[in-house]
């Protein structure tokens, strides 16, 4: 009898225990949205504003969950999207195939220098906000405020931009479903991904990037076959479109006009630097390796691909974006369709759609991480610094979700106009971000020299050095000035205020934020003196002797490897 009673009691206890586990899981889910405990120092009252910003961003409670493979794929294919697949069509029609290569090629040179500068900084300072934080500590808080908000605005605008582009891409299949329904589906999909934290973002970008990389490699092989006359239609294509309608459509001004589209197509390349504070591995090893692969993305996925597109699609094609009602057509899809291949246009259009979703996914991540860093630095309301126990910047996420509702402009007859405004704003904003990275790197090197310290203490040294950053900064200023010229005097048009602000509004945004912060803080200091720059706070590796010993051992170990291993390490 006692045995039966004991078994009954045990079953009852097991049932009660199981009953307790159900609400505990629910409670755990609810508790995950509570504010995370920060590891920051409890008192910062004796610190300056810049020192407080450094302290807060260096000890942000963001989760370090992003894996090495995810960071590598984000660097390789994460930013491939609207600019390449769709924006290149507008650039081809505006400037011609030669302008396409010149514009992208010039932008690629100073982008590479910019990425090298960023690699050096993020390997040393893997802090929250990355380059927006560097602007505050190495240049000046008002500039950090302007650039940080500029970058945040860029990403929050990209989300509706990509969702609208998705609805345009869907029209390729002549779907009877209202475009707003598709926007709603994609909107929910992206929000759910980012609600899963950086794990959801990282894994999604890993899969998206693989699809994009494979698709572009496949397209390049197919394009070569078509150019050589191997398509179902047959006939050698060669360079006939370079002769008729011609290599250039609008001369020098056409090349300058292509710059802004080229800049936008590369926009987001710097996003891998924003992941520094959430990298699972050692940032000094993982991030520079990932950033080095940007060079191959530029050569293979942009320069080679755009060269082939210029051979296959005439610049006067009525199917290119902005020239017909079929605005969902990508020049890549047009190239395949012109080759007489039946199934592939739809398949590649699906790849374009995936690419747009990828950038939309990245936009939520980019905005939420930038705005949380601004909140931590005191450059945005403190509520934006809210990070929950799962490492999610919830307030930034919610604001991005609200602004993302602008994507329902897809139902409006002015969707093409809205797309053009958003594209121009986002592209110009990128120039200021890259400029800020380069200037911050130059200022850091100046402070390092001022303190009599060597680059040997750096975990990664930019291959382009300080002069590469100077070159990049100068080129970005030149491009900004040239963009002012073509915005004021657009191709084939008289000066028009609407056209000017449509193409140059990004500069106005930065100026307003910079001057506004100066007036609000009453801080007239233009730049932080070199002797006041802090080049130690926020380091992941604080023991310099140990760091130098580790680097020396790694070099000696690599030197003992076969030549092909050393070559692979140099290239990748």
| Confidence at residue 443, expressed as pLDDT on a 0 to 100 scale | 95
Asked if residue 267 and residue 325 are part of one domain, the reply reads yes
| Confidence at residue 447, expressed as pLDDT on a 0 to 100 scale | 92
| Confidence at residue 418, expressed as pLDDT on a 0 to 100 scale | 67
| Confidence at residue 42, expressed as pLDDT on a 0 to 100 scale | 45
Which tokens sit at 111? 């982008």
Asked if residue 236 and residue 173 are part of one domain, the reply reads yes
Q: In 3-state terms, what secondary structure has residue 391?
A: coil
Confidence at 416, pLDDT banded by 50, 70, 90: low
Half-sphere exposure at residue 346, Cβ-oriented, CA atoms within 13 angstroms: 5
User: Cβ(396)–Cβ(367) under 8 Å?
Assistant: yes
Distance CA 422, CA 417 (A): 9
Confidence at 190, pLDDT banded by 50, 70, 90: very high
Distance CA 4, CA 2 (A): 5
| Confidence at residue 23, expressed as pLDDT on a 0 to 100 scale | 54
Asked if residue 220 and residue 287 are part of one domain, the reply reads yes
Distance CA 436, CA 246 (A): 37
User: Cβ(426)–Cβ(158) under 8 Å?
Assistant: yes
| Confidence at residue 474, expressed as pLDDT on a 0 to 100 scale | 94
Q: What percent of the chain has pLDDT over 70?
A: 80
Which tokens sit at 228? 């050589």
Asked if residue 483 and residue 551 are part of one domain, the reply reads no
| Confidence at residue 250, expressed as pLDDT on a 0 to 100 scale | 80
Distance CA 133, CA 141 (A): 9
- Whether 326 has a pLDDT exceeding 50, the answer reads no
Asked if residue 257 and residue 204 are part of one domain, the reply reads yes
Q: Which of 39, 339, 350, 404 is nearest to 214 (CA)?
A: 350
- Whether 370 has a pLDDT exceeding 80, the answer reads yes
46, part of any domain: no
337, part of any domain: yes
Confidence at 468, pLDDT banded by 50, 70, 90: very high
563, part of any domain: yes
53, part of any domain: no
354, part of any domain: yes
Kind and range of the H or E element at 136? helix 131-138
Please state the separation of Cα 90 from the chain's center in Å: 21
Interacting residues of 467 by C-beta distance below 8 A, sequence separation 6+: none
| Confidence at residue 41, expressed as pLDDT on a 0 to 100 scale | 47
Asked if residue 486 and residue 396 are part of one domain, the reply reads yes
Total of domains in the chain = 2
| Confidence at residue 541, expressed as pLDDT on a 0 to 100 scale | 62
Asked if residue 156 and residue 138 are part of one domain, the reply reads yes
Please state the separation of Cα 198 from the chain's center in Å: 15
Interacting residues of 487 by C-beta distance below 8 A, sequence separation 6+: 499, 500, 502, 503, 504
Please state the separation of Cα 219 from the chain's center in Å: 23
Asked if residue 563 and residue 526 are part of one domain, the reply reads no
Asked if residue 280 and residue 197 are part of one domain, the reply reads yes
Kindly report which listed range (77-86, 134-143, 354-363) carries the lowest average pLDDT score. 77-86
412, part of any domain: yes
Distance CA 527, CA 520 (A): 17
27 or 262: which leads in pLDDT: 262
Distance CA 300, CA 350 (A): 21
| Confidence at residue 50, expressed as pLDDT on a 0 to 100 scale | 66
pLDDT, mean of residues 415-421? 66
Q: Cα angle at 91 between 86 and 96, to 5 degrees? A: 130
C-alpha distances (whole Å) from 180 to each of 78, 183, 227, 415, 478 are 26, 5, 38, 12, 40
36 or 375: which leads in pLDDT: 375
- Whether 327 has a pLDDT exceeding 50, the answer reads no
| Confidence at residue 334, expressed as pLDDT on a 0 to 100 scale | 85
- Whether 472 has a pLDDT exceeding 90, the answer reads yes
Kindly report which listed range (34-38, 252-256, 465-469, 558-562) carries the lowest average pLDDT score. 34-38
pLDDT, mean of residues 534-547? 70
Strand partners, 279: 66
- Whether 141 has a pLDDT exceeding 70, the answer reads yes
- Whether 220 has a pLDDT exceeding 60, the answer reads yes
Asked if residue 278 and residue 354 are part of one domain, the reply reads yes
Task: Pinpoint the alpha helices (H) of 267-378.
Answer: 271-274, 283-292, 294-296, 305-312, 331-338, 344-377
Kind and range of the H or E element at 317? none
C-alpha distances (whole Å) from 413 to each of 179, 408, 426, 473, 530 are 12, 11, 22, 40, 53
Residue written as tokens 């100068």? 474
Choose the most confident range, by mean pLDDT, from 88-102, 246-260, 311-325.
88-102
- Rounded mean pLDDT of the chain? 79
| Confidence at residue 324, expressed as pLDDT on a 0 to 100 scale | 39
520, part of any domain: yes
480 or 274: which leads in pLDDT: 480
Q: What is the pLDDT of residues 235-271, one digit of tens each?
A: 787 788 888 888 888 888 888 888 877 877 787 788 8
- Whether 186 has a pLDDT exceeding 60, the answer reads yes
The CATH number for 273's domain is: 1.20.1740.10
Distance CA 138, CA 444 (A): 6
Which tokens sit at 473? 């900064």
Domain containing 331 equals: 70-541
Q: What is the pLDDT of residues 419-463, one digit of tens each?
A: 666 666 666 778 888 999 999 999 999 999 999 888 888 888 888
Asked if residue 432 and residue 529 are part of one domain, the reply reads yes
Interacting residues of 260 by C-beta distance below 8 A, sequence separation 6+: 424, 427, 428, 483, 503
301, part of any domain: yes
Q: Cα angle at 451 between 447 and 453, to 5 degrees? A: 95
Asked if residue 275 and residue 128 are part of one domain, the reply reads yes
Strand partners, 66: 279
Q: Which of 508, 443, 84, 465 is nearest to 269 (CA)?
A: 84
């Amino acid at each position: 009898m006692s045995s039966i009673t004991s078994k009954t009691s045990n079953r009852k206890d097991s049932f009660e225990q199981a009953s307790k586990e159900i609400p505990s899981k629910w409670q755990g889910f609810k508790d995950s949205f509570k504010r995370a405990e920060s590891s920051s120092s409890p008192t910062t009252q004796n610190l300056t504003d810049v020192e407080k910003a450094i302290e807060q961003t260096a000890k942000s409670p963001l989760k370090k969950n992003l894996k090495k493979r995810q960071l590598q794929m984000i660097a390789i294919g994460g930013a491939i999207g609207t600019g390449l697949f769709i924006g290149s069509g507008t650039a081809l029609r505006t400037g011609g195939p030669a302008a396409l290569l010149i514009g992208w090629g010039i932008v690629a040179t100073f982008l590479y220098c910019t990425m090298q500068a960023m690699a050096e900084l993020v390997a040393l300072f893997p802090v929250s906000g990355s380059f927006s934080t560097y602007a505050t500590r190495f240049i000046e808080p008002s500039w950090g405020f302007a650039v940080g908000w500029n970058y945040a605005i860029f990403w929050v605008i990209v989300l509706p931009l990509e969702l609208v582009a998705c609805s345009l891409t869907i029209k390729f299949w002549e779907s009877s479903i209202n475009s707003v329904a598709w926007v709603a589906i994609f909107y929910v999909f992206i929000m759910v991904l980012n609600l899963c934290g950086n794990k959801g973002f990282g894994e999604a970008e890993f899969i998206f990037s693989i699809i994009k990389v494979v698709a572009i490699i496949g397209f390049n092989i197919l394009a070569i076959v078509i150019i050589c006359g191997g398509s179902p239609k047959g006939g050698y294509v060669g360079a006939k479109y370079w002769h008729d309608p011609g290599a250039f459509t609008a001369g020098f001004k056409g090349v300058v006009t292509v710059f802004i589209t080229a800049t936008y197509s590369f926009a987001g390349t710097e996003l891998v630097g924003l992941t520094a504070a959430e990298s699972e591995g050692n940032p000094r090893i993982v991030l520079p390796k990932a950033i080095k692969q940007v060079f191959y993305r530029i050569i293979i996925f942009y320069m080679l691909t755009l060269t082939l597109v210029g051979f296959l699609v005439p610049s006067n094609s009525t199917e290119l974006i902005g020239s017909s009602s079929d605005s969902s057509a990508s020049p890549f899809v047009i190239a395949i369709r012109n080759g007489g291949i039946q199934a592939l246009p739809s398949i590649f259009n699906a790849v374009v759609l995936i690419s747009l979703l990828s950038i939309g996914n990245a936009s939520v991540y980019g905005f939420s991480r930038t705005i949380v860093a601004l909140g931590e630095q005191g450059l945005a309301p403190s509520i934006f610094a809210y990070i929950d126990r799962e490492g999610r910047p919830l307030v930034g996420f919610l604001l991005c979700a609200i602004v993302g509702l602008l994507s329902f402009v897809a139902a409006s007859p002015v969707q093409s106009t809205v797309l053009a405004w958003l594209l121009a704003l986002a592209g110009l904003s990128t120039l200021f971000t890259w400029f800020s990275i380069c200037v911050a790197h130059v200022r850091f090197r100046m402070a390092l020299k001022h303190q009599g310290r060597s680059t040997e203490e750096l975990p990664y040294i930019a291959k382009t050095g300080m002069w590469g950053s100077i070159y990049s900064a100068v080129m970005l200023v030149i491009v900004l000035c040239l963009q002012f010229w073509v915005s004021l005097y657009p191709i084939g048009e008289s000066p028009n205020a609407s056209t000017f602000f449509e193409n140059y509004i990004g500069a106005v945004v930065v100026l307003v934020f910079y001057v506004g912060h100066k007036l609000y803080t009453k801080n007239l200091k233009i730049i932080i003196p070199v002797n006041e720059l802090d080049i130690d706070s926020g380091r992941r590796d604080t023991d310099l002797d140990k760091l130098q010993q580790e680097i020396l051992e790694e070099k000696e170990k690599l030197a003992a490897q076969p030549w092909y291993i050393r070559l692979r390490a140099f290239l990748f």
